[in-house]
Amino acid sequence: MRPPPRVLPLVSRVMCTLVYAVLPPNLAQPPLVEQGRRCGLHLDHANDRKIEQALHHDERLYSTFTYCSCGTALGRVEQPVRVAFTERDLADLRRRGWGAAKIERWKTQRLEARPPPPTDDRPSGEAIQFAEFLATVLGRGAARAGLVVHTAGATVERGESFPRRRLDAATVHGLRINVVYDFRST
């Protein structure tokens, strides 16, 4: 008797997305955590060497959610559409004895299961949430506060530094993935 075929996950070869806050280390920890909770965030110290290489010496990395942020609306403006399958996947199926009709059904199912690409450029609730949190951090006397939407394992670069007057949901919504952005209090 043949064993059942192995089911391949939809997100094969795709890494998790994480949203981190980039904050000064001198802010009092309990008030910062409480403010994050009021904005719907779970702040905790985080370590990621690829991101830390792009930080200034006076910045610390904080995770904003307990788990990964896969499916976040932040950075979706530029996110590529996920590939439902690759030639390597198809070759693997053929090697396991799948016929052309079965592979075509599988491909159709995979394409139908993909989430639709974003069609709306309006700021998401998440963008509003993060903009409010960063504005509060800057209002507490921080010289700057920032965000990075990071795909696990990817290289991170330093992005633009915005003045506080540019801190709004639309700006936060349009941030690129794997780029550290900060907002200055002045």
CA 151 remoteness from chain centre? 6
Question: Which residue, among 21, 18, 19, has the nearest Cα to 182 in the 3D structure?
Answer: 21
Element of type H or E holding 20:
strand 17-23
Q: Is residue 26 part of a domain?
A: yes
Q: Is residue 175 part of a domain?
A: yes
Q: Is residue 28 part of a domain?
A: yes
Question: Which residue, among 139, 151, 152, has the nearest Cα to 176 in the 3D structure?
Answer: 151
Instruction: Name the band, by pLDDT with cuts 50, 70 and 90, for residue 35.
Output: confident
pLDDT at 87: 82
Please answer whether residues 113 and 144 qualify as being in contact, where contact means their C-beta atoms are separated by less than 8 angstroms: no
pTM equals 0.68
Per-residue model confidence as pLDDT tens digits over 47-64: 888 898 899 888 999 988
Q: What proportion of the chain, given as a percentage, has pLDDT over 90? A: 25
pLDDT at 78: 53
Q: Is residue 9 part of a domain?
A: no
The type of residue at 40 is G
Number of domains in the chain: 1
Question: Which residue, among 17, 61, 26, 58, has the nearest Cα to 43 in the 3D structure?
Answer: 61
Per-residue model confidence as pLDDT tens digits over 119-153: 556 777 888 999 999 998 998 888 999 999 988 88
pLDDT at 67: 76
pLDDT at 15: 66
Q: Is residue 95 part of a domain?
A: no
Instruction: Name the band, by pLDDT with cuts 50, 70 and 90, for residue 70.
Output: confident
Strand, coil or helix: 146 = strand
Residue 115 has pLDDT above 80, yes or no: no
- Residues 6 or more apart whose Cβ sits within 8 Å of residue 3: none
User: What's the average model confidence in pLDDT over 2-31?
Assistant: 65
User: What's the average model confidence in pLDDT over 11-19?
Assistant: 64
User: What's the average model confidence in pLDDT over 156-168?
Assistant: 92
Write out the residue range of the structural domain in which residue 130 sits: 17-78+122-184
What length is written for the chain?
Answer: 186
Q: Is residue 168 part of a domain?
A: yes
Round to whole Å and give the CA distance between 110 and 177: 25
